[in-house]
Amino acid sequence: MIKGQFLVQLKQDLLISIPNAVKRIKLDEGDKVCYIALYGSDDEPVIGLIQLGVESYRKQMIEEEGTDDKWLLWNFGEMPVNYQIGLESEDPNFPEKQNTLIEIFGGQEEYEEWWEVSQNLRFEIAYELNNYDWSGIIPTSDDFVIYSSWEAIDVINGDLTRSIPKNKYELLESMGLI
């Protein structure tokens, strides 16, 4: 029971904290956000970093490289670091919450379990946030999405489908971005 209650509360906290953290990121005049990547890692399995994908940078990447390399298009590491933020800026206790998740799901010995729980939580959060109206928070492109990211993400084989609603996914597909 404690595991379920913890996850419900953590999800509720994140659905509030993420938009508030995104508001703190300063965009250049005229910038539009085409995606928000919620990145999880072994050290910060729920969310270690929030990265904005900026439409003008993506357009430049497409002009230079085309759209064949899907991994490149969704690799948030290609975006400037000034468009990223950690959740501790909004919730100073967030690192402790991630550690609590690891502990209640078996500690370091049970990596597979807590990684899967963290991954599923990140998918759920991204999916729900895709249904928010972001217009009052940040300027967004017409194809704006939020997705769960991690080191081994495989865009070509469908890893974005668990984060992005079907209608938005199909739009990205029609644009050659997936």
Q: Say if residue 1's pLDDT is above 70.
A: no
Tokens found for residue 154: 């495989």
pLDDT of residue 31: 95
The pTM of this model reads 0.93
Instruction: Tokens 């933020």: give the residue.
Output: 85
At 27-49, the pLDDT tens digits run: 999 999 999 999 999 889 999 99
- For residues 38 and 5, what is the distance between their CA atoms, to the nearest angstrom? 22
Task: Return the domain boundaries, the chain.
Answer: 2-171
List 39's β-bridge partners, or say none: 49, 149
Query: What is the rounded radius of gyration, in angstroms, for the C-alpha atoms of the chain?
Result: 16
pLDDT of residue 26: 94
Q: What is the mean pLDDT of the chain?
A: 94
Higher-confidence residue of 52 and 76: namely 52
% the chain with pLDDT above 90 = 83
